[in-house]
Chain A
């Protein structure tokens, strides 16, 4: 493989990683906003959050991407393609992750809320100092799945001509005809990136669990080698 191709792949890899990291960051914002809004006492907030999660979970990510890139310009406004890609991925994954946030907050035992009330905490203090620190530990394993889903979804941007890893692979395939090598290489590449992300999330999970004095159940690698699956996770 010539060095030009390595350059393509490197640039593509950077775009893929950027999309994943920015998408995850923006997705987290949507997830926490919508997840907490669904638990709020305010009916309007709850309604908006409900609509957001239902609509964006029912809407294919690829269509959302096409919409942001080809339909928004018809209304006289244009996003930067990388931003449109990030926004589409974040809106989509945020809707799934919002349910994770909601479920994790709800899974914190009621006694904790009651104890916080007894200690005269304000609602904000209760959430920030008692509920969230415990809920976040429960969120990390399902977030890890969401992150891999997001990574996989970044490949979609190649269809709207954003030059990510998949797009770079297609360029190389078009100019060399090495179909099998290129696509196998792409699959292995994504697999390795996913493995790295999973390992990072496991590390995070272990740190968070240790802070609460808990044990971490086996993850992906453990699942390969054990016959029994991991215990059902929080949500």
Chain B
């Protein structure tokens, strides 16, 4: 057996830089997903079928194709059309766009679950469409879906290793570069794996705390 635990420990300090990068990507990507998901959800309820269908097809398409290929697409094709962005930013956009298709479905179920009477009451009070959305529907829809939205933070964090494929030095990227320097891949990858696991478990615990706070405890 040729596995040295001390090398696992030695690679942790370097990997922590990658953890910071992964967390930055998660937070920014999640922000993109929350905003873009809401936009998708609202566009899907548009009165015009010409907006509804293409958005629906786009969402189903993004949802059912691999994030890795989407990241490659953004990373290699954006420069060709004259958009040059740092790899991390490309990754954030990729993660955000991918997860926006999931969050849009969540928002959608939240909006669908607002009782029809609320719409009728808004009409009776002569509220404008925009007022109905901002003051009546969304304030009721969004709190309901907070627990479901929370799950995607962890899912997104677990997808950050993919950013290594587009040259972002997050934990996996750094583990590979340590491996390239020392010719020992097993130990840094083990260290990275353990760090991912610890952080993901902490996040899952945090998500449960948030859920309890908002009073909607699920299963």
Contacts and interface: CB of A to CB of B under 8 A. Distances in A.
Interface of A: 54-55, 57-64, 66-67, 70-71, 73-76, 103, 148, 151-156, 158-159, 166, 169-170, 173, 179-180, 183-184, 186-187, 190-191, 194-195, 198, 220, 223-225, 227-229, 232
Given A60-B158, A71-B3, 15 more contacts: A59-B158, A59-B196, A66-B172, A66-B175, A74-B187, A159-B68, A166-B68, A183-B69, A184-B73, A187-B70, A220-B60, A224-B56, A224-B57, A225-B56, A229-B112
A-side interface mostly? helix
Contacts of B77: 179-180, 183
B64 A232 contact: no
B109 interface: yes
A186 B193 contact: no
A67 B171 CA distance: 14
Nearest to A54: B201
Contacts of B57: 224
- Chain B contact surface mostly: helix
Interface stretch (B31-39, B126-134, B159-167): B159-167
Interface of B: 1-3, 44-45, 52-53, 56-57, 60-61, 63-70, 72-73, 76-77, 80, 105, 108-109, 112, 154, 158-162, 164-165, 172, 175, 179, 185-187, 189-190, 192-193, 196-197, 200-201, 204, 219
B66 A191 contact: no
30 contacts: A54-B204, A58-B158, A58-B196, A58-B204, A59-B197, A60-B161, A60-B193, A61-B158, A63-B189, A70-B186, A71-B189, A74-B186, A75-B3, A148-B64, A152-B67, A156-B66, A156-B162, A159-B164, A166-B69, A169-B69, A179-B77, A186-B69, A190-B65, A191-B65, A195-B64, A224-B53, A224-B57, A227-B44, A229-B105, A229-B109
Contacts of B189: 63, 66-67, 70-71
A211 B208 CA distance: 38
Contact of B66 (A54, A152, A180): A152
A145 to B, nearest CB: 9
B69 A75 contact: no
B94 to A, nearest CB: 12
Contacts of B154: 58
Contact of B64 (A159, A180, A194, A225): A194
Nearest to B198: A58
Contacts of A166: 66, 68-69, 72
